[in-house]
Amino acid sequence: MQAATEHPIAVHRRREHEYESPVNDRRLQRLVEDGSQVRIAAGSYVPAAEWNALTPLQRHLTRVIEIADRTRSPQVLTHAAAAAVWGLDRIGPWPDLVEVRIPSASGGRSSGGIRRRALGYDGVDVLPWRGHLVTSPAQTAIDLAAEARFTDGVIAMDQARWSRRDGGALTDRIRIDDVLSGQFRRGLGRVQRVIEFSTELSDSVRESQSRVLIERLGFPVPVLQRTFRLPALGDVRTDFWFDDFDHIGEFDGTGKYLDPTLLAGRSPGEALLAEKDRGDALRRIVRRVSRWRTPALRDPRLLYDILTGDGLPSRLPRPRVGAQW
């Protein structure tokens, strides 16, 4: 398991007098007001350009580390805070406050950038982190699944089990079941349904979201990460393979065209042409290839229309406006 332990970017702290000595509060306020600095916690600031270059997960991790480091007594990081530490991504917004567990009889409250959740510690699986404790990957995924929509729970569980993660999966089904077995909690049935549906094969949050929608829209269960041998291109993996219908489905994320890491030295245009060549090669060896982007996941009717329009049958009618899972 690999927990994040360092800030993604440098943080300037008022108490350290890194802007001027002594600190010029008016100047610091002007820097925030003109947008060149971002206040991430009381007395802590980061350059706006560097902050905006971070992913939402990295931004929350920055807040988590900053708040944790200034907290005098040891804390138990939980839920979104723990997810940021373990790199469990999500599709919704990240909270502004850092979530920690406190004894169940205490009563939850928020102050100083912290949301205190009176969930108790009985049977909770935790690990040491920077002088504090953090719920384990298995515990974190369970906690998120117990409170979130089914889709968001599956995303968290898939992320925790993801086998192709750098350094290996954070946890596995056996460990998740073991952690859950020692807990009596509300939402147990929901968590169990999420665990049953989860997989170690989803390579992104959008693939997990797509997989949930494919099932809820009544389409056949796909094979995940099916490999095809393409002339001149070698082996390529596809997101979804509907074996009985000789039909490939793929989420077409923008990261492959914009993320410098994924571009690996190529220009966005070169990446786009390579993806087109890959798609054309797949279409020559299978009956159909369906592709969709994020808007089709925000409105499931669009995904339904794409797949049925390409000939994939569904056992259910087109969903109503606003349907979400």
pLDDT digits (tens, 9 = 90+) for 62-111: 999 999 998 889 999 999 999 999 999 999 999 999 999 999 877 667 77
Any domain includes 77: yes
Rounded to an integer, what distance in angstroms lies between the CA atom of residue 106 and that of residue 119? 9
Any domain includes 45: no
Q: Are 240 and 180 in the same domain?
A: no
Q: Are 102 and 224 in the same domain?
A: no
- Asked if 81 and 98 count as a contact pair (C-beta separation under 8 A), the reply is yes
Give the pLDDT mean for 24-42: 82
**Three-state DSSP state, 235:** strand
Percent of the chain with pLDDT over 70: 92
Q: Are 140 and 117 in the same domain?
A: yes
Any domain includes 35: no
Q: Are 167 and 244 in the same domain?
A: no
Q: Where in the sequence is the domain holding 66, given as residue range(s)? A: 55-197
**Three-state DSSP state, 323:** coil
Q: Are 181 and 230 in the same domain?
A: no
Q: Are 168 and 209 in the same domain?
A: no
Q: For residue 286, what pLDDT band results from cuts at 50, 70 and 90?
A: very high
- Asked if 82 and 94 count as a contact pair (C-beta separation under 8 A), the reply is no
**Three-state DSSP state, 274:** helix
Give the pLDDT mean for 205-215: 98
For 132-181, write each residue's pLDDT tens digit.
999 999 999 999 999 999 999 999 999 999 999 999 999 999 999 999 99
Any domain includes 20: no
Of the candidate ranges 47-61, 107-121, 255-269, 297-311, the one whose mean pLDDT is the lowest: 255-269
Any domain includes 174: yes
**Res 253 pLDDT > 60:** yes
Q: Are 250 and 152 in the same domain?
A: no
User: What pLDDT does 175 receive?
Assistant: 97
Tell which of 197, 216, 241 closes a domain. Answer: 197
Q: Name the domain count of the chain.
A: 2
**Res 57 pLDDT > 80:** yes
Q: Are 157 and 209 in the same domain?
A: no
Any domain includes 37: no
Beta strands in the chain (DSSP E): 12-13, 37-41, 44-47, 76-77, 98-101, 109-111, 114-117, 126-129, 132-135, 223-230, 234-242, 247-251, 288-292
Tell which of 197, 214, 232 closes a domain. Answer: 197
Q: Are 68 and 190 in the same domain?
A: yes
Residue 213 host element (H or E):
helix 205-216
User: What pLDDT does 1 receive?
Assistant: 66
Any domain includes 5: no
Q: Are 134 and 218 in the same domain?
A: no
Count of CA atoms in the C-beta half-sphere (13 A) of 8: 20
Q: What's the predicted TM-score (pTM) here?
A: 0.91
Tell which of 180, 197, 214 closes a domain. Answer: 197
Percent of the chain with pLDDT over 90: 68
Q: Are 149 and 278 in the same domain?
A: no
**Of 305, 88, 87, 298, residue with least CA distance to 209:** 298
Any domain includes 102: yes
Higher pLDDT, 152 or 35: 152
Q: How far is CA 259 from CA 56, 236, 239, 256, 262, in A?
A: 14, 20, 19, 6, 5
**Res 282 pLDDT > 80:** yes
Rounded to an integer, what distance in angstroms lies between the CA atom of residue 265 and that of residue 262? 8
Q: Are 153 and 255 in the same domain?
A: no
Q: For residue 184, what pLDDT band results from cuts at 50, 70 and 90?
A: low
